[in-house]
Structure 1
Amino acid sequence: MIEGIDAGTFAVLAVAVLLGATVQGVVGLGVGLVLAPIAGLVDPSLLPGVPLWVALAMPMLTLSRDWPDVDWSGLRWAVPSRCVGTAAGVVVVAMASDRMIGIAVGAMVLVAITLSVRTIELRVSRRSLVAAGVVSGATGTATSIGGPPLALVYQHRDPPVVRGTLGVYMWLGTVFSLVGLAVSGALVERDTYLALALVPFVVVGFVAALLVRRYVPTRQVRFAMLAVCASSAAILLVRSLAG
């Protein structure tokens, strides 16, 4: 077992990864939304490293199926702007405590869920893509949750377009965030080994998603994901605020 991680903690993280990967394989995002709050609950020091490393694996699997549907014209605006946001996120990680990052993760997830439930419609434009890139760069680096801003912009596009575009965006964005954290000295070697041990659950979740796509309406899966995320985020937020 990895140093500092007991069997119970690993089991909880594995279930979170499996669930998140299944949801992401269907709707385009989910690993970060599910894993980050739960990781913050079991051990705040796992943030943002472990969810970021795990998030690096999932898009590779998604793109094996949805690569032809990627919206490259949108990514040329969203990806560069994420670099700007990444710099801000690195500063937050360097200055904030585990408690503050836990509060940020919980609040970020709840805000994303609230916006998703209200289904605010944003037009896919140069301005919305740039804004989404900057915001997701900061939140993705500081809290490991960077998908929701761009997902909100693309939420009314066809599912393959959403999955493919978010897959490329989140993979590149995660690389930016990890490089930024590495340069600042905020990455922990233990987190890398733990994430590698969790990768098999990402693969199983992706395979499960291929089956779920056939039989379960995306809308139902989406609301199930939101319920799980809201519960874990609310618990994390209350716990972090209590100190």
Structure 2
Amino acid sequence: MTTGLLIVVLVAIFIGAIAQRIAGLGFALLISPFLVIILGSHGGVIMVNICGLVSSLLIMSRVWRDVDWSMYRWLAVPAVIASVPASAAAVFLPAAPLAVTVGAVVLVALSISLLLQRTSVVLTGNVPKAVAGFASGITNAMAGVGGPAVSVYALLARWPQRPFAATLQPFFVTTAAVTLTSKLFLDPGQMPPFEAWAWALVALMIVAGIYAGEKLQRFIRDDQARLAVIVIAFIGAAAALVKGLIDL
């Protein structure tokens, strides 16, 4: 990888970590399409899973007391069940269709989220939680994007932002760990070919992004953060979708 491309990857990771700290999600939405273009479909999704695991693990220690553990269990168990077969499918799916899948999943999920923001429907009960977790497990394994499914549920269930953002961190840690273990067990060669110093820079960008997000959080409203994430994610997803269609 050239120095220029590495800088682009590091900047994307830094911005994604800021979004993750401010809004509770957005890391994968922001960086998944861009990393798929730069690192390829398989390497890009693996990179998203690794960075998502690390960033959520770091943030989790900061929001621990706001985590709704009952909600976590209803989301995480179905997500784990879905993640294993979906991870296997992602390993053996050709690169171009996977790139199209990444772009399409993000675009559809963002569109649904926007459309549902003004709905009067309110979800209740445990079945919608399980469905959201199951869907999130599939999309995380296939496209590195697990947030949209639970975001749609949060909108329809009127889940308050603070416990929602906090609960997603252990949820993302769980799904990323299962997905990474499954994929690397089936094909260890999917790990992005970074040198040790490059991985150190990636970790530094995640920490710096979380720190910057904490400082910026007091100046940015939740709706402003979500809007910025949506705009950038739409651009990246469209680019990944176009690239995948060209390569088919």
Paired residue for 2:144? Answer: 144
Paired residue for 1:165? Answer: 167
> Hey, what's the Cα distance between the residues in 1 that align with 2:78 and 2:38?
33
Paired residue for 2:187? Answer: 185
Deviation of the 1:186 alpha carbon: 5.0
> Hey, what's the Cα distance between the residues in 2 that align with 1:108 and 1:195?
28
Query: Residue type of the partner of 2:128?
Result: S
Residue 78 of structure 2 is aligned to residue 84 of structure 1: no
Deviation of the 1:38 alpha carbon: 0.2
Deviation of the 1:182 alpha carbon: 2.0
Residue 38 of structure 2 is aligned to residue 38 of structure 1: no
Deviation of the 1:159 alpha carbon: 2.4
Deviation of the 1:54 alpha carbon: 0.6
Paired residue for 2:213? Answer: 209
Deviation of the 1:20 alpha carbon: 0.9
Residues 1:240 and 1:206: Cα distance change in structure 2 (over 3 Å): same
> Hey, what's the Cα distance between the residues in 2 that align with 1:6 and 1:58?
25
> Hey, what's the Cα distance between the residues in 2 that align with 1:82 and 1:237?
25
> Hey, what's the Cα distance between the residues in 2 that align with 1:174 and 1:190?
16
Residues 1:102 and 1:64: Cα distance change in structure 2 (over 3 Å): same
Residue 21 of structure 2 is aligned to residue 19 of structure 1: no
Paired residue for 1:135? Answer: 135
Query: Residue type of the partner of 2:169?
Result: G
Deviation of the 1:122 alpha carbon: 5.4
Paired residue for 2:68? Answer: 71
Residues 1:185 and 1:200: Cα distance change in structure 2 (over 3 Å): same
* Residue aligned with 1:215, SS: coil
Instruction: Number of aligned residue pairs: give it.
Output: 239
5+ residue gaps, structure 2, are none
Paired residue for 2:241? Answer: 237
- Name the % identity: 23
Paired residue for 1:221? Answer: 225
> Hey, what's the Cα distance between the residues in 2 that align with 1:23 and 1:168?
17
> Hey, what's the Cα distance between the residues in 2 that align with 1:177 and 1:228?
25
Deviation of the 1:187 alpha carbon: 5.1
> Hey, what's the Cα distance between the residues in 2 that align with 1:84 and 1:122?
26
Native 8 Å contact 2:184 2:191 kept in 1: no
Residue 93 of structure 2 is aligned to residue 96 of structure 1: yes
Q: TM-score, normalised by structure 2?
A: 0.90
> Hey, what's the Cα distance between the residues in 2 that align with 1:48 and 1:28?
19
For residues 179-216 of structure 1, the C-alpha deviation after alignment (integer angstroms, 9 at most, x for no partner) is: 11122125534457555531111111111111221111
5+ residue gaps, structure 1, are none
Among 1, 5, 9, the residue aligned to 1:9 = 5
Residues 1:190 and 1:91: Cα distance change in structure 2 (over 3 Å): closer
> Hey, what's the Cα distance between the residues in 2 that align with 1:200 and 1:108?
29
> Hey, what's the Cα distance between the residues in 1 that align with 2:22 and 2:199?
22
Deviation of the 1:105 alpha carbon: 0.7
> Hey, what's the Cα distance between the residues in 2 that align with 1:231 and 1:203?
25
Residues 1:79 and 1:191: Cα distance change in structure 2 (over 3 Å): farther
* Residue aligned with 1:202, SS: helix
> Hey, what's the Cα distance between the residues in 1 that align with 2:126 and 2:83?
19
* Residue aligned with 1:48, SS: helix
Native 8 Å contact 1:49 1:187 kept in 2: no
Q: TM-score, normalised by structure 1?
A: 0.91
